[in-house]
Amino acid sequence: MATWNSRGLRGSTLEDMINRTNDKYSDAGLALIQKVPTPITPIKMDREHRQITLAYFEQKSTVDYIGAVQGIPVCFDAKECAVDTFALQNIHEHQVTFMEKFEKQGGIAFFLIYYTHKDILYYLPLQMLLFFWNRAKEGGRKSFRYEELNPEYILPRKHGIMVPYLDMLQKDLEDRA
């Protein structure tokens, strides 16, 4: 099986890589994580081909993925970044609010960021995001730089697992203790 940084997968999106990882984790009995579909209302349909040709979003989506890892509720969002500076406008207030409420209920919330130009995957715990989020709300930078991130949360390359986020989830749990 190819790893997440192999040549054969360069055209794949981060979502595809995460979906494959989630399948592996599910098959191994390690986690059950589901992609959260974005609710839409179709406006126009091509009846001959049974395809939606025009639709609108019913409501704001919360996170990309939700589920459980060894009995621990988790939710996360996936983002791609092509430069060293991640603009906080890529994250919406309702997502942050949902994640904060999720953690108050005993879950773990985080972001997976793929720095495409560096070919690096990063696990961003909600608490770290909140530091940058609150800094922006108080008039500071509306983004964070790659150099500001804790290098301990770079996802390791692992044979057979494209986005090995369980390793960093374990570190996140240990750091919270």
Q: From the annotation, which residues make up the binding site for Mg(2+)? A: 62, 64, 77, 95
Which of 25, 17, 111 lies closest to 64, judged by CA?
111
Question: 57-82 in b/e burial notation, b at 16+ Cβ within 10 A?
Answer: eeeebbbbbbbebeeeebbbbbbebe
Binding residue positions: 62, 64, 77, 95
Residue 14 CA to residue 90 CA, distance in Å, equals 15
